[in-house]
Chain A
Amino acid sequence: MAARPLVTVYSEKNEATGTQVKCPAVYSTPIRPDLVNFIHDQLRKNKRQPYAVSTKAGHQTSAESWGTGRAVARIPRVRGGGTHRSGQGAFGNMCRGGRMFAPTKTYRRWHRRVNVAQRRYAAASAIAASGIPALIQSRGHIIDKLNEVPFVISDKIEGFKKTKEAVAFLKAANLWDDILKVYNSKRYRAGKGKGRNRRYKQKKGPLVIYNNDGGLVQSFRNIPGVSTVSIDRLNLLKLAPGGHVGRLIVWTESAFRKLDSIFGTFSRLSDVKKGFHLPHPKMTNADLSRLLRSEEILKAIVPKPSTAIVAKKQRHGNPLKNRALMKKLNPYSSVIKRAGRAATAKSQKA
Chain B
Amino acid sequence: MQSDDIAWGVIGKGQCAYKAPSKTQMFCRNEFNLTGLCNRASCPLANSQYATVREENGVCYLYLKVIERSHFPQRLWEKVKLPKNMTAAVKLIDENLLHWSKFVRQKCKARLIRIHQYLIKMRRMQLNQHQKIIPLARKIERRETRREAKALIAARLDNAIEKELLGRLKEGVYGDIYNFNQKAFENVLDQEVEMEEEEEIQPPQRQFIEDFDESDDDGDDDEDIEDAAYTFDADSDDESDEDDASENEEDEASDNQEEGSDIDMEDIGSKKKVSFAPLPKAAPTKVSKKATKKRRGAKIEIEYENEATAPRKKIIS
Contact = CB atoms under 8 A, between A and B. Distances in A.
B3 A286 contact: yes
A135 B10 contact: yes
Contacts of A149: 71-73
Interface string A133-172: 1110111100111111100000000000000000000000
B interface bracket (residues with beta carbon within 8 Å of A): 20 to 34
Interface in B1-60: 1-7, 9-11, 14-18, 45-46
Contacts, number: 82
A147 B74 CA distance: 5
Interface in A1-40: 1-4, 27-28, 31, 33
Give the secondary structure class of A's interface: loop
Interface residues of A, number: 35
Interface in A158-209: 174
A144 B76 CA distance: 9
B3 A147 contact: no
Q: Which of B1, B14, B18 has the most CB of A within 10 A?
A: B1
Contacts of B18: 137-138
Contacts of A174: 74
Nearest to B2: A132
A279 to B, nearest CB: 14
A287 B4 contact: yes
A289 B9 CA distance: 12
B257 interface: no
B256 interface: no
A135 B3 contact: no
A239 interface: no
B74 A286 contact: no
B15 A286 contact: no
A2 B3 CA distance: 11
Contact of A135 (B5, B11, B71, B74): B11
B7 A134 contact: yes
A90 interface: no
A89 interface: no
The 9 closest A-B pairs by CB, nearest first: A140-B17, A134-B45, A138-B16, A134-B7, A146-B73, A287-B3, A28-B1, A138-B11, A143-B73
Interface of A: 1-4, 27-28, 31, 33, 128-129, 131-135, 137-140, 143-149, 174, 244-246, 286-290
Given A2-B1, A145-B74, A286-B5, 6 more contacts: A33-B14, A135-B11, A138-B16, A138-B18, A139-B17, A286-B6
